[in-house]
Structures are given as structure tokens and as C-alpha cells.
Amino acid sequence: MNNGNEQYLIALAGNPNCGKTTLFNAVTGARQHVGNYPGITVEKKEGFYQLNGSRLRLVDLPGTYSLTAYSLEELVARDFLVQERPEVVLNIVDACNLERNLYLTVQLLELGIPVVLVLNMVDAAESRGIEIDVEELSRRLQLPVVPTVARTGRGKDDLLSTAARMASEKRGWAPLHISYGPDIDPALDEMEKEIARLSFLTEALPSRWTALKYLEADEQVIAKGRETHPELSSRLEAIAARLTDHLQKTLESYPEAIIADHRYGFIAALLKGGVVTEKNKSDRLYLSDQIDRVLTNRLLGPVSMMLILYMVYQFTFNYSALPVQLVESAFSMLGNRMDALLPEGLIKSLIVSGIIDGVGGVIGFVPLILFMFFAIAFLEDTGYLARVAYMLDRVFRTFGLHGSSVMAFIISGGIAGGCAVPGVMATRTLRSSRERLATLLTAPFMNCGAKIPVFAMLIAAFFPKNRASMMFLLTLLSWMAALFLAKLIRITILKGPSTPFLLELPPYRLPTFKGLLIHTWERTWQYVQKAGTIILAISILFWALMTFPGLSEKKKVRFEEARQEILAGVPPELREMTARGAPEGQTIPAVVADARERILALDHEEAQTALKDSFAGRIGTAMESVSRWSGFDWRTNVALLSGFAAKEIIISTLGTAYSLGKVETGDDLSLSERLSNDPLWNPLKAFAVIVFIMLYAPCFATITCIIKESGAWKWGVFSMVFNTSVAFLIAVLVYQGGRWLGLGT
Amino acid sequence: MGTVLLRHMLPGQKGVVTQVKAVGELGRRIRDMGIVPGTPLFVQGRAPLLDPVAIRVRNFTLTLRNNEADYIHVEVDETS
Ligand SMILES: Nc1nc2c(ncn2[C@@H]2O[C@H](COP(=O)(O)OP(=O)(O)O)[C@@H](O)[C@H]2O)c(=O)[nH]1
């Protein structure tokens, strides 16, 4: 058949939910590579399979219902077929749902590319009493048809050898000609002749297909046509326009619609006469429908949805808590080790505060992302996520979003304590681009787990009596802000009608554990690879901002002198102990304890001065002229600035700025007390700060994800500038409004 | 006799599509999902807020918003 070391390119195409991913995993196992199609965010999966010495390169195309030019997925799939010209396309169809699935098949055949029809889910079809005459179907379509069960791998070997055989034959493209009726056919013939005569686009596209696309008013093909041959293109457009006009007058219809009718007509004829027989033709309620009676019921539906979403949230954050803690303590242990090992100085500071903290920040998210993707993959593969979108669409559409947006909001902290990094990544399940972008831009307004301790500290200081109700209020506020700002974004920069909803509710199915794991792992690994480098770089940048230029020599000398002065006040034999600390178990004399405390205070003051003199401190001080409108002084400014790197750093920076030494999250009582006694602080300012923190620029990990998920730098920059502006505006409103009402004194 | 817009059909009602008036992207999506004149359908239910509507066509369940259902004309089977 072949000499054994050929490589064939094989593409997998099919409708969403046909089992394509499962089949791809069954064939390639873990030997797969996930990337993106150049320049866009659509995932591209590739894997290899070795068969009798030939190497099959399998590419999983995005799941599509059609090959038109409307969605990104469809364009990607079509461009891949036309440009890469795979030897064979494995067209996976759901055996329970042949009529609709074959619509894509017909379009592949119109293109003429060699196809193997993969009749998947034959197990489900059998149990539903659907019988398919495979041989007859194959004969009528003149294609190999292979029945499979992707879940168990049944039919896989047969499929691969069929595909390899077909690939080795190196068939040319043979477009299928079907009749589109008495109005379309003559026009099509006329156009086809012209196209063939002038070899218009024929190096890549069959001439009849190009003609068909002109009739279907396909933007991409027409644009390309205008470029290559403007004169012919305008003639073709004229023919199409004439036909459209005629059909409008006679049938009140469009060429596109009539072409679609005939495609379905072709499919109906194909399946007639015993190719498909359904034994229980009645509208029997299958298990899936019975489940839906409960899960999408008017009353039980929303209740069970809340329960399920809450469980997802609990699962994501509770089960990941331990691994997150382990990772964090591993990194802090490493940090302490390095702290002890390395000599005092810049290098140590860079390694401990810049690199280890930075890498820890990246890796610390990994368990969280792992669990989140697992939970979402489960909801997605079972089919429940589609129900959530169905039930919530009415609410979210009001704000220019989509029913599926809810997932991203909840993960990001819609139930207080989430994380925007996995939240932004969760928007992948949204297929409508404007809604998806609006969702990923507004999900970071939610109260993530890193903002919570900052809020808790401020609430403890200024609203000690109503802690719980304050937290609840903040959750409510963040939802309101996110939804209204989403609306604002959708009526301004992302203006445009909502993308058609038209969502399939696939039958409930039990996903395979292996499938879930592969899904989860590949997405998590992508995060580590791509986010890792950027976040590390940014965390080093922030370390530098808060470290340099450091104290001037003059100030350093002054602090050193003050220290020596304290030491001088201690009797000489106790000086060693004062400087180094008492050996284990030895009681410390009162003089020493007193001197040590004063030196510690001096150290903290030095750290504070160094922070104020650092670039970040200077920026914070310079910003006071603006930030006084919202009541923020330089200390708050620096802390907020450090929060760009990660929100949890706000507390420790405030600690340094208030000369409290290193304040760890959780052990922030002293800071809370310090702030509540500070004359510059009051409940009003605290509330303005809280609102600001809730809304301002997402942390860098999130921004990195926004850039990656949206595929454009500009959206990362936008979310930084827009969120900070909105946050500032609202903080000013709160602060000035409060003052006007006589609060905050 | 008895052509209504899909939006106005009640859960449990059956019918056959007579016309799809949508153009552009929406029209294409509706056709991609198998809704063309002559297609039988059955209204399976509605979302808790009564929008979108879930229908059964060609052996699968499709949900669409009411304002999308407005483009689909259905001849209702009176016996259903
Ligand atoms: N019963 C059955 N279920 C399957 C089969 N193939 C896939 N599934 C399930 O169908 C669901 C969707 O499959 P998936 O591969 O994610 O579909 P995709 O959207 O086409 O990638 C998953 O829950 C699979 O476990 C099959 O042959 N038989």
C-alpha cells in the first residue's frame, strides 16, 4: 500500500457535542499538543498516531454546525481545510441526530474534500431504538462509513485503518453536485462556467463552490474575490443580486435559504427508504428529558441550579485549599531558607521578594485552576452548562451578556472568595464573542479571595459591629457594579446586537474520567506556560519599584547612628545579646528587651522611609494631589499601587508604610488597630478605599489572562485603565458625597 | 390553517415550520440548526423566566430566545 514512512494529515470535523474530543483523546491519548490557531484564541489540538509505519497527524478542528463565514470557529475550520488540504477529513456525526449532523457533511462534500463518515454514539442510538443501515448509507454517499463508540474506543481501529487507506490513495477533491432547484441551478451553472474559464480562485477552491458562496453572500469569499479579480467578482455579485431580487419577488425568499432547503432535502432523500429506522417513533421521554423536567423546571430548576453552582464553588475552593496551602508553604519555606542562606543585600532581596514570591504567585494558582477546570469540564461534558445558560439567559441578556456568563462571575468571586484568574479562563465556554469579551472584562469586579482579607481588615477596624452585613453588602455591590458596567461596555465600546443564542441542549451524558483529566490538564498547563513568564517579569518589576533607589547614604547613616545610640545605652556586656537576641532558654533582662524593641521600631521606621523614598513611594506621594479627592494619602496610594501586582500585598505594604514591619495576611490585628486610631482614617475613607479596591485594575495574573483569552494586548490595558478610572470616580463620589452629608469626621 | 409565530406556541404543541423570515447571521444559524420550511417541531418547554423557549426538532433539543422565535412561522397541529 505504501512504503511505510508517509505522513498524512487528517482533520477531525463535526458538530459540537458529537463526541469529537472524546474520539480525539481515544486516538491520540496523551500524545497531543494544544495550541492556538495563529493570532486568535480558538484552540488547536494536534496529535499523532502511528499505524503500520505511516504516521497520521490528526488535527481537531473546532466544533461547528456549518461551514459558513459567521463565527470564528467556522472560519478557522474552513480555512484549515482549504489551506492545509488534509488528505482526509474524519467527519464525526452523532448517530442519534443524523439529519442535522449531515448538514455539515453535505457542505464538506460540496467542497469536495475526501471524507470518512464517523458514525459516533451508535451505543446511544441503539438504546434509543434507532437503527442505521451503514452499508446502504455508505453506498448512497459513496464514502466509507465507520460506526464508533468514542467513549469505549469501539470502532477506533477500523476507523484509523480506513482513514489511512483513503489517505494513501491521495484522492483529488471531487465536489458533490446537488440540485438547488430551477431558480438557483441555472445561475450557478453560469457562474461556474465563468469562474472556471478565468481560473478564478481555482488553485484552492472548486469553481462550483465559489459560485455557491457568492450566492450565499459569504463575506470572506467575496472579499477575496474582489481582491483577486474585481471585474469578475462584480459580475458574479450582479448575477447573485439579480437572483436574490427575483427570489424575493417570486418566493419571498433568499438564495441562501433555498440552498439550505435543498441541502436538507438531499439529506432527507439520503435517509429515506430504510437507511434510518426508528423503532419507538413515539415522543417517548428519555431519561435525559425526565432529568430536564426537574432540572429546568420553573421552580426546581433555579433552586437546583443555585445548589449545583454553589457545590461547584465549594468544590473548587475547598478541595483546592489544601494543595494551595501546601504550595504556598513550600514557597515560604524556600523563601525562609534563602533568607537564612544568602547574605543580606540586593541579591537576596531580589531572590526572596522578587523571584520566589513571584513564581510562588504563579504556581499558587495552579491547584485552583486545576479544580476549577475539572468542575467546569464536568458540567460542560454532562451537558448541564447548556441548561444553566438556558435558564439564566433572560437575566444576563438584559445586561448585554449571555446565560453562560454566570460561570465566570461565580468563579471570579460572585460568591465572595473566588479568583478572577480561573474566572477569566472560564469564559472559554462562551461562544459569542462580544458577550464573552464583556464577561471577561467585568468578572474581575467580583470580590476575589485576595480582596477579602483586605476588606476584612478594614471592616474590623471601622465597622466592627456589622461585619457580616458589610461583607454581604460588598458582595451585592460587586454584582451590581459588574452587571451595570457590563451593560455600559456593551452599549459603548462593544456595541452591537446580541449574538444569536440558538443553543443546543445535548442529552445528559456521563463524561469519562480520562476525558475530564486530559481537558483539565491541558488547560492548566497552558496557564503555567504562558502566564508564568509574564507574571514573573512583572513581579520583579514591582519588586524593583518598591526597592529602588533605596535610602540615601545620609539617611542610612542617620538610622545606623540612632541604632548605635540605643546600643550605647545598654551595659557593654549585654550589647551582644541586644544585637543578636538571647540564646534559647535564657531570660532577657529588661534593659535588653526595651532596647531591642526600640531597635525594632527603628528598623520599621527605616523600612517605611525606604518605601517612601522608593519609586513606588514617590509615585504614591506625587499622586496625592489627585487622590486627595477620594481621601487617599501616600501610604494608601503605595499600598494600592502594590495591589496591581497582587491584591493580597496591599496589607503587607500598608504594614510597612505604617512602620509596623512585615504584616502577614490573617495576622493583621495590629494594622487594623493602627488604622482605626489614625486621625487620617475614618469609616468614610475606609469605605472609599474598599470600593476602590473592589473595582480598580485587576492584578497582573488576571490581566495576563485577559490578554491571553481576548487575544489582544489592548484589552489588558483597557481593563487596567477603565477599571481604575471607574474605581476612582466611584471612590470620589463616595468620599465627597459622604463628606457633604457630614460623615467622615 | 393556523399559522402562528413560534413565540406564541404553548408547551406541548406540535407543528410544522412554514417559513423562516430571518436574514443574515440569525437566518443562517436557524437553518444550520435544521429549521427550514417543512420541519416538524414540538415545544418542549420554556425557561423559568419564560424566555428562551426549548423545542424539539430533528431528534434534538434546541433553545432559542423569544425574539429569535419571532422569525419562525409554524403551522400548528390542532390536535396536539
Ligand atoms: N454514549 C456515548 N457517549 C459519548 C460517545 N462519545 C462521546 N460521548 C460523550 O458525549 C459527551 C460530549 O463529548 P465531547 O467529546 O466532549 O464532544 P465534543 O463537543 O464533540 O468534543 C461527553 O460526555 C462524552 O463522554 C459515544 O460514542 N457514546
**In this structure, are A100 and A36 located in the same domain?**
yes
Q: Please, which residues have CB within 8 angstroms of residue A204's CB and are 6 or more apart in sequence?
A: A82, A83
| Domain annotation covers residue A214 | yes
Closest residue to atom 10 of ligand 1, CA basis? A19
**Structure confidence at residue A688 as a pLDDT band (50, 70, 90):** very high
Can you tell me which residue has the cell 540612632?
A562
What pLDDT is attached to residue A242? 95
CB contact under 8 A, B42 and A283: yes
Task: List Cα–Cα distances, A395 to A399, A414, A437, in angstroms.
Answer: 8, 15, 18
CA dist A674 and A677 (Å) reads 5
CB contact under 8 A, B26 and A394: no
Query: How large is the average pLDDT for residues A698-718?
Result: 90
**In this structure, are A244 and A132 located in the same domain?**
no
**A97, A100, A503 member nearest B63 (Cβ):** A503
Element (H, E) at A539: helix A513-547
**In this structure, are A185 and A211 located in the same domain?**
yes
A112: CATH = 3.40.50.300
> pLDDT exceeding 90 applies to what percent of chain A?
45
Q: Which runs of E-coded beta strand occur in A400-485?
A: none
Mutation choice for B interface testing from A68, A387, A391, A502 by most B CBs within 10 A? A502
Question: Which of A20, A21, A22, A120 has most ligand 1 atoms within 8 Å of CB, for mutation?
Answer: A22
Return the number of other C-beta atoms located less than 10 Å from residue A677's C-beta.
9
CA dist A414 and A306 (Å) reads 12
Domain region containing A141: 7-169
Q: Judge whether residue A587 has pLDDT over 70.
A: yes
Closest residue to atom 19 of ligand 1, CA basis? A17
According to DSSP, residue A448 is labeled: B
What pLDDT is attached to residue A69? 80
**Structure confidence at residue A607 as a pLDDT band (50, 70, 90):** confident
**Which atom of ligand 1 is closest in space to residue A382's alpha carbon?**
23
The residue out of A221, A247, A278 marking a domain boundary is A278
What pLDDT is attached to residue A1? 45
Three-state SS at B61: strand
| Closest CA–CA distance from residue B4 to any residue of chain A (Å) | 18
pLDDT higher at A43 or A241: A241
What pLDDT is attached to residue A528? 77
According to DSSP, residue A589 is labeled: P
Task: List Cα–Cα distances, A72 to A75, A432, A517, A601, in angstroms.
Answer: 5, 9, 27, 60
Cell of A272: 429515506
Ligand 1 pocket member A153 (CB < 6 A): no
CB contact under 8 A, A261 and B36: yes
**In this structure, are A190 and A156 located in the same domain?**
no
**In this structure, are A86 and A63 located in the same domain?**
yes
Distance from the alpha carbon of residue A613 to the mean position of ligand 1, in angstroms: 60
Closest residue to atom 2 of ligand 1, CA basis? A121
Mutation choice for A interface testing from B26, B32, B49 by most A CBs within 10 A? B32
CB contact under 8 A, A390 and B47: yes
Q: Which of residues 16-75 of B touch A (CB under 8 A)?
A: 20, 23, 25-34, 36-39, 42, 44-45, 47-52, 54, 56-65, 68
Ligand 1 pocket member A151 (CB < 6 A): yes
Ligand 1 pocket member A94 (CB < 6 A): no
CA dist A649 and A640 (Å) reads 9
| Closest CA–CA distance from residue A415 to any residue of chain B (Å) | 22
pTM for the model stands at 0.83
- CB neighbour class for A355 (10 Å; exposed up to 12, middle 13-18, buried from 19): middle
Average pLDDT in chain A:
87
Element (H, E) at A80: helix A72-84
Q: Which runs of E-coded beta strand occur in A133-256?
A: 145-147
* ipTM of this complex: 0.96
Query: How large is the average pLDDT for residues B12-41?
Result: 93
The residue out of A219, A243, A278 marking a domain boundary is A278
CA dist A641 and A616 (Å) reads 7
CB contact under 8 A, B34 and A503: no
**In this structure, are A140 and A13 located in the same domain?**
yes
CB contact under 8 A, A394 and B45: no
**A100, A391, A499 member nearest B48 (Cβ):** A391
Query: How large is the average pLDDT for residues A272-281?
Result: 82
CA dist A378 and A309 (Å) reads 12
Q: Judge whether residue A523 has pLDDT over 80.
A: no
**Structure confidence at residue A311 as a pLDDT band (50, 70, 90):** confident
What pLDDT is attached to residue A114? 96
| Chain B residues near residue A257 by CB distance under 8 angstroms | 20, 27, 31, 36
**Structure confidence at residue A608 as a pLDDT band (50, 70, 90):** confident
**In this structure, are A216 and A158 located in the same domain?**
no
**In this structure, are A91 and A137 located in the same domain?**
yes
Cell of A126: 441503539
Which of A680, A177, A730, A139 shows the shortest CA–CA distance to A484? A730
What pLDDT is attached to residue A19? 92
**B23, B48, B63 member nearest A505 (Cβ):** B63
Strand order in the sheet with A115-120: A32-36, A43-51, A54-60, A7-14, A88-94, A115-120, A145-147
Query: How large is the average pLDDT for residues A654-683?
Result: 72
**In this structure, are A85 and A185 located in the same domain?**
no
Q: Please, which residues have CB within 8 angstroms of residue A508's CB and are 6 or more apart in sequence?
A: A287, A288, A291, A292, A382, A383, A384
The total of structural domains in chain A comes to 2
Ligand 1 pocket member A149 (CB < 6 A): yes
Q: Judge whether residue A39 has pLDDT over 80.
A: no
| Chain A residues near residue B64 by CB distance under 8 angstroms | 500-503
Mutation choice for A interface testing from B28, B58, B66 by most A CBs within 10 A? B28
Partners of B40 in the β-ladder: B16
**Structure confidence at residue A457 as a pLDDT band (50, 70, 90):** confident
Q: Judge whether residue A41 has pLDDT over 80.
A: no
| Domain annotation covers residue A229 | yes
| Domain annotation covers residue A636 | no
| B1: contact with A, CB 8 A cutoff | no
The residue out of A262, A278, A294 marking a domain boundary is A278
Termini Cα distance of chain B: 14
Distance from the alpha carbon of residue A511 to the mean position of ligand 1, in angstroms: 7
Can you tell me which residue has the cell 454566570?
A406
Ligand 1 pocket member A436 (CB < 6 A): no
Q: How far is CA A217 from the centre of its chain?
A: 33
| Chain A residues near residue B38 by CB distance under 8 angstroms | 261
**Which atom of ligand 1 is closest in space to residue A17's alpha carbon?**
19
A245: CATH = 1.10.287
Q: Which runs of E-coded beta strand occur in A61-106?
A: 88-94
Ligand 1 pocket member A104 (CB < 6 A): no
> Of all residues in chain B, what percent are helix, strand and coil, respectively (each to 5)?
20, 40, 40
Partners of A7 in the β-ladder: A55
Length of chain B: 80
Q: Please, which residues have CB within 8 angstroms of residue A317's CB and are 6 or more apart in sequence?
A: A368, A371, A417, A418, A449
CB contact under 8 A, B51 and A393: yes
Q: Please, which residues have CB within 8 angstroms of residue A329's CB and are 6 or more apart in sequence?
A: none
pLDDT tens digit sequence for A173-212: 999 999 999 999 999 999 999 999 998 888 889 999 999 9
In chain B, domain spans: 3-77
Distance from the alpha carbon of residue A520 to the mean position of ligand 1, in angstroms: 16
> pLDDT exceeding 70 applies to what percent of chain B?
98
Length of chain A: 745
CA dist A315 and B68 (Å) reads 36
**In this structure, are A141 and A203 located in the same domain?**
no
What pLDDT is attached to residue A666? 47
Cell of A171: 484522492
In contact, A380 and A503? CB cutoff 8 Å: no
Average pLDDT in chain B:
92
Return the number of other C-beta atoms located less than 10 Å from residue A2's C-beta.
15
**A302, A500, A505 member nearest B61 (Cβ):** A505
Closest residue to atom 14 of ligand 1, CA basis? A19
Ligand 1 pocket member A150 (CB < 6 A): yes
What pLDDT is attached to residue A691? 96
Strand order in the sheet with B40-46: A503-505, B60-64, B53-57, B40-46, B14-20, B72-76, B3-5
Distance from the alpha carbon of residue A18 to the mean position of ligand 1, in angstroms: 6
**In this structure, are A38 and A98 located in the same domain?**
yes
**Domain B3-77 homologous superfamily, CATH:** Ferrous iron transport protein A (FeoA) (2.30.30.90)
What pLDDT is attached to residue A569? 80
**In this structure, are A24 and A156 located in the same domain?**
yes
Q: Is the dihedral of CA A517, A522, A523, A526 positive or negative?
A: positive
CA dist A557 and A563 (Å) reads 10
For β-strands A54-60 and A43-51, DSSP reports them as antiparallel
CA dist A225 and A235 (Å) reads 11
In contact, A624 and A637? CB cutoff 8 Å: yes
| Chain B residues near residue A256 by CB distance under 8 angstroms | 27-28, 31
What pLDDT is attached to residue A543? 81
Which of A101, A173, A100, A109 shows the shortest CA–CA distance to A141? A109
Among the ranges given (A131-140, A154-163, A553-562, A713-722), the one the predictor scored with the smallest mean pLDDT = A553-562
| Domain annotation covers residue A270 | yes
